[in-house]
């Protein structure tokens, strides 16, 4: 998976808001590489802002320079490592990826239950779940592998993305997932990559009004940062809000008219 300007903006917002702390343990579903639509100079600026140790910051900047100049095999994955180091501080890193590039990746099938004998402060699913048929198991795995008070980060296709994966995900999926499991949606973003566009979603009404205005793009994404507060409760699959009668009248009416 790739770190684009949207993932970059999401992590920067989480960091600036104080939601994520240094020395966080990170698990990625799919090892990420650097996409290249954020200038490396921006990453360098954020290193100087976020890394307290000058010597450590200089080493990270030197690593970027060496990787970008020499461009060894898998160098874009190396830049992604620096990105995570910048926003999470010194941290442990692991991934679940059948095609992982190094021994930090557990080459396991996300269709199946997974036990890594530990939990993580941040579990990140940027564009992986849509490629896994057993999507229930993916979100259960994310829940199970996230610590209490940890963060689950999802970036998934919403509209368009023809034949990109098995699924696109609707806003109600995330609202109802939060309702079922007691997650707090710290960040909810609507995004388009070309040209870049990011809109903060503060309620169901926001995205429904965008749909009414024809403001949903052809290749749209949804990004959420979900705060796990479940205190050890098992994962619970959601019932869609319309069918559990949790929608207000306006949202229920739009469920019918926006088909």
Between the alpha carbon of residue 67 and those of residues 70, 73, 159, 182, the distances in Å are: 5, 10, 35, 42
- At 231 the pLDDT is 73
> For residue range 93-128, what is the model confidence (pLDDT) as tens digits?
999 999 999 999 999 999 999 999 999 999 999 999
Q: What is the mean pLDDT of residues 200-208?
A: 95
Mean pLDDT taken over the chain:
95
Q: What is the mean pLDDT of residues 141-166?
A: 96
Q: Is the pLDDT of residue 216 over 90?
A: yes
- At 193 the pLDDT is 82
Give percent of the chain with pLDDT exceeding 90: 90
Between the alpha carbon of residue 230 and those of residues 150, 183, 205, 235, the distances in Å are: 10, 7, 26, 9
What's the rounded Cα separation, in Å, for the pair 119 and 203?
30
> For residue range 43-85, what is the model confidence (pLDDT) as tens digits?
999 999 999 999 999 999 999 999 999 999 999 999 999 999 9
CA 52 to chain CA mean position, Å: 25
- At 75 the pLDDT is 97
* Nearest alpha carbon to residue 169 among 111, 224, 130: 130
What's the rounded Cα separation, in Å, for the pair 106 and 99?
9
Q: For residues 140 and 115, is the Cβ–Cβ distance under 8 A?
A: no
In terms of C-beta density within 10 A (0-12 exposed, 13-18 middle, 19 or more buried), how is residue 90 classed? exposed
Q: What is the mean pLDDT of residues 19-39?
A: 94
Q: What is the mean pLDDT of residues 215-239?
A: 92
The alpha-carbon radius of gyration of the chain (Å, integer) is: 19
Q: Is the pLDDT of residue 90 over 90?
A: no
Q: For residues 192 and 4, is the Cβ–Cβ distance under 8 A?
A: no
What's the rounded Cα separation, in Å, for the pair 225 and 154?
7
Q: Is the pLDDT of residue 1 over 90?
A: no
- At 143 the pLDDT is 97
Token pair for residue 49?
């802002």
Q: Which domains does the chain have, with CATH numbers?
A: 2-257 (3.40.50.150)
* Nearest alpha carbon to residue 35 among 76, 6, 69, 92: 76
């Amino acid at each position: 998976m790739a770190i684009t300007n949207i993932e970059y903006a999401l992590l920067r917002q989480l960091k600036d808001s104080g939601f994520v702390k240094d020395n966080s343990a990170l698990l990625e579903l799919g090892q990420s590489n650097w996409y290249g639509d954020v200038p490396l100079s921006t990453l360098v600026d954020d290193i100087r802002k976020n890394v307290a140790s000058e010597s450590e910051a200089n080493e990270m900047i030197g690593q970027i320079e060496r990787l970008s100049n020499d461009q060894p095999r898998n160098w874009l994955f190396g830049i992604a490592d620096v990105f995570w180091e910048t926003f999470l501080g010194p941290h442990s890193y692991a991934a679940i990826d059948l095609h992982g590039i190094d021994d930090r990746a557990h080459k396991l099938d996300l269709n199946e239950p997974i036990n890594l004998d530990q939990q993580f402060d941040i579990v990140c699913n940027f564009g992986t779940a849509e490629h896994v048929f057993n999507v229930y198991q993916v979100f259960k795995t994310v829940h199970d592998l996230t610590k209490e008070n940890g963060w689950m980060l999802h970036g998934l296709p919403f509209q368009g993305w023809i034949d990109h994966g098995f699924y696109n995900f609707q806003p109600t999926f995330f609202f109802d997932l939060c309702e079922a499991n007691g997650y707090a949606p710290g960040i909810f973003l609507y995004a388009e990559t070309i040209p870049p566009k990011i809109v903060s979603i503060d309620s169901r009404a926001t995205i429904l009004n965008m749909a009414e205005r024809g403001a949903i793009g052809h290749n749209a994404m949804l990004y959420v940062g979900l705060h796990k507060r479940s205190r050890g409760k098992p994962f619970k699959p959601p019932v869609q809000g319309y069918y559990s009668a949790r929608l207000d009248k306006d949202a229920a009416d739009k469920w019918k008219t926006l088909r």
